[in-house]
Structure 1
Amino acid sequence: MTIHPMIPTGESSVSTTSGFTVYPAIDVRDGAVVRLLKGDYDQETRYTDNPVAVAENYARSGAAWLHLVDLDAARSGGYTLLDMLGRIAENTGLMIQTGGGVRTAEDVERLLEAGASRVVVGSIAVQEPDTVVGWLERFGPERITVALDTRIGPDGTWVLPTAGWTSVGGEDLITTLHRYNGSGLKHVLCTDIGRDGTLSGPNFHLYTMLTRSSPTLEVQASGGARSVDDVRAARRTGCAGIILGKALLEGRLTVADAVQEELA
């Protein structure tokens, strides 16, 4: 584990209502803000033990949304951040997209009641798409984000690791996505695991493929973002948003500068 000081992200009063959204990300493990390298729990960088303060800083800097991940629950199930979610929602006014370990409709209900605007479903979206289709009908497409985290498999297809990226689902990315045709699915978060935490730039070939093959979906790019240029390029591919994690925590990019791209 690496301990890393968090560099402030800068402040601004900018807000946005545009169709492109910047999602500052807070990944929480053992109560601390961390980043994993390529999804590896043994390659963790820890930044601060106060996730709520980070969220407050992002809100002051102009963010409208927050992407909050329970890394402990992503691997073992059972979302553990309900109290933190509630405090962030109450203290910041941010709209919060959050997940990790969501397995049942009751889990979705609890997160929405605690202050989530959208609930992220990952492993179950790969393993039990019919269940998630039912949730889309029950809660509405604005309340659910399907997370399809992917890496290139030995045969060149985009495979879908689950359970905190520790095991691999049975179908590839495109096949799984096609199972949601006609379901009303709107929000898809796609992480290229091989880029996650690397600051090597997003995989724009992947996002171009997704946005062209599924033009009705609002795709969120995730993994590798490092600069305003990456935010701008994600928008050009047709993505509806981008997740920003390590670049913000290490001061390579500010929320204020990223949000300006929402308005461009």
Structure 2
Amino acid sequence: MEIWPAIDLLGGKCVRLQQGDYNRETIYGDDPAEMAKRWVEEGADCLHLVDLDGAKDGSLKNRDAISAIIHAVNIPCEVGGGIRDEATIEQLLSLGLSRLVIGTKALREPEWFAAMCERFPNKLVLGIDAKEGMVATDGWLEVSTTSAIDLAKTYEHLPIAALIYTDIATDGMLAGPNVPAMQAMKEAVNLPVVASGGVTSVEDVKHLTAAGLDGAIVGRALYENRLTVREAVAAAK
């Protein structure tokens, strides 16, 4: 299982939100590129970046910080947040990102997302954020009536790099991941599934690995020294 340390960008700074709430923000650093280098020095093989401004506003906002991270480290990086058109996809891939996470637009315009997957095979990741099994969109500001598993199944025939499944009830809460939900998604779809939300300890990583997940995104636990990248990578192996 791959470990993806998270770097969440808001106003060019490295932050974490609790349950996606923009009013519950903690700033962990003014230099995201330095943070990226730190995770690589600790053994990170890949990084998960989030443009929080972009997720909220629907357009690319933290391009400079993203570019600085890519130039600072020599490992695969992915980014999500506010990717809603083909021009943005081309712009981000040209920066050197390995893959891009698309959520809200995939739910709203499945035909567009399918066309983009065909145009950029294995470069796009479907990001599904859910609360009690139902899909949440627009930076988690809206919860839909669509089941996360049902949505994922409609896309599994496409050349998608992976599916990131985030449980927003656990995200940023340091309460442990929703392993049953993650395992149910992994068993339901024929796609690599990356778990996101609540990973706090070595035991959490071991539980997700045992459940068959292909990757796990780790955020706040790293920043608050509950877990190190090295420990997480070792547990995932």
Measured against the shorter chain, the TM-score band is: over 0.9
Structure 2 residue 119 is the aligned partner of structure 1 residue 119: no
The question of 1:61 aligning with 2:42 is answered yes
Is 1:99–2:73 an aligned residue pair? no
CA contact (8 A) 1:126 1:169 kept: no
- Identity rate of aligned residues, in percent? 37
Equivalent AA in structure 1 for residue 124 of structure 2: I
1:196 to 2:171 alignment: yes
- In structure 2, the residue corresponding to 1:171 is in which secondary structure? strand
Count of aligned pairs between the two proteins: 237
Contact 2:199 2:205 in 1 (8 A): yes
Query: Once the two structures are superposed, what CA deviation does each residue of 1:27-57 show, in whole Å capped at 9, x if it has no partner?
Result: 1111211111111111111111111110010
Structure 2 counterpart of 1:149: 129
- 2:91 matched to which residue of 1? 110
Q: Distance in 2 between matches of 1:76 and 1:169?
A: 19
**1:26 and 2:7 equivalent?**
yes
Answering whether residue 220 of structure 2 is matched by residue 240 of structure 1, we say no
The reply to whether residue 213 of structure 1 matches residue 188 of structure 2 is yes
Root-mean-square deviation over aligned CA pairs: 1.2
Query: CA contact under 8 A between 1:62 and 1:256: conserved in structure 2?
Result: yes
Question: Aligned partners of 1:256, 1:174: CA distance in 2, in Å?
Answer: 32
Q: 1:254 aligns with which of 204, 219, 228?
A: 228
Contact 2:53 2:62 in 1 (8 A): no
CA deviation after TM superposition for structure 1 residue 69, in Å: 0.3
Counterpart code for 2:208: A
Cα distance per residue 1:99-146 (max 9 Å; x no partner): 1100011111111101210101010111112211111111112x1111
CA contact (8 A) 2:45 2:76 kept: yes
1:43 to 24, 27, 35: 24
Greater Rg by CA: 1
2:43 partner letter: G
Structure 1 consecutive aligned stretches of length 4 or more whose deviation exceeds 3 Å: none
TM-score normalized with structure 1 length: 0.86
Whether the 8 Å CA contact 2:153–2:188 is kept in 1: the answer is no
Question: Whole-Å Cα distance in 1 between the matches of residues 156 and 35 of structure 2?
Answer: 37
Partner of 2:201: 227
Find the counterpart in structure 1 of residue 68 from structure 2: 87
CA distance in 2, matches of 1:107, 1:169: 25
